[in-house]
Amino acid sequence: MESSPRVLRKHLLSGATTAEGVAVVIDVLRAFTSAAFMMHLGAEKIVLLAEAEEVLRFKSETGALAVGEVGGKMVKGFDLGNSPARIVAAGRGLFAERTVAQRTSAGVTGAVAAARSAEQVILGSYVTASATARYIRGLSPPPEAVSLIAMGNAGRESTPDDEGCASYLEHLLTGTAYGHAAALQQIVEHECAQKFLREDQAHFPPADPVYCLQRDLFDFCLTAQLEEGILVARRVDVPREDAA
């Protein structure tokens, strides 16, 4: 019987800076759901940059798409904000075979921080959770530790979307208990979802939580490695274990 990996639950930016082993940096609402949809729509790679100025400079130098936010709002000069609904609306025609430079206040910042100490970084969300777990279980040799890092609100305040996704990943990796209905209730009742559902801020579209809370939508995970000092995420297809 396969042994389960040693899972470490970590939280917020402080947790990202102490990542061990394989680090799954989790940002459900919305960074790494957005990243997964961009890859689904054909993006070649996503360059993760901690500062908006870095993204704009990279866009100017390479012609990459600039996607993301500061304080939840799209930055002047960016092509899109951090919205899965608007990414889906933009479609494959925008993303196919393109490089994307992404900046967000929680997920991207956490991934960049985790890359300084982790052996490997994976971008975590509900839409890629099962594929992420399959990828980790298939690593050889198995990782000594898996850090599940729930980034929360701006990397400063825990939120039930990221904590719930971390619990789901822990369940997939080790068999610990997880109830998705209870997790959804906590998320939908919390401000992390309510700020979208109120429909009173244009940069928080009400459709975003619908995309973000889908479980196991994609059969790929997003792994990130340092390439010439820059953290770059790419798609890794991970077929379902019952696939023919």
Q: Tens digit of pLDDT for each residue in 205-228?
A: 999 999 999 999 999 999 999 999
With b for 16 or more beta-carbon neighbours within 10 A and e for fewer, the 132-149 pattern comes to: bbbbbbeeeebbeebbbb
In a domain, 94, yes or no: yes
Q: What is the C-alpha separation between 234 and 244, in angstroms, rounded?
A: 25
Q: Is 189 a member of any domain?
A: yes
Instruction: Provide the 3-class DSSP secondary structure of residue 148.
Output: strand
Question: Is 205 among the domain residues?
Answer: yes
Q: In terms of C-beta density within 10 A (0-12 exposed, 13-18 middle, 19 or more buried), how is residue 236 classed?
A: middle
For position 147, what pLDDT does the model report? 98
Q: What is the pLDDT of residue 1?
A: 40
Residue 244 placed within a domain: no
Number of independent structural domains in the chain: 1
- Please list, in sequence order, all residues whose beta carbon lies within 8 angstroms of the beta carbon of residue 45, skipping any fewer than 6 positions away: 99, 100, 232, 233, 234
CATH number of the structural domain spanning residue 152:
3.90.1560.10
Give mean pLDDT, residues 152-175. Answer: 98
- Distance in angstroms (rounded) separating the CA atoms of residues 241 and 131: 10
Q: Is residue 20 part of a domain?
A: yes
Q: What is the per-residue pLDDT across 37-75, written as a single tens digit (0 to 9) for each?
A: 999 999 999 999 999 999 999 999 999 999 999 999 999
What token pair was written down for 207? 């459709």
Looking at residue 2, its pLDDT comes to 60
pLDDT at 5: 86
Q: What is the pLDDT of residues 7-38, one digit of tens each?
A: 999 999 999 999 999 999 999 999 999 999 99
pLDDT band for 241, please (50, 70, 90 cuts): confident
Tell me which residue range forms the domain holding 160: 6-236
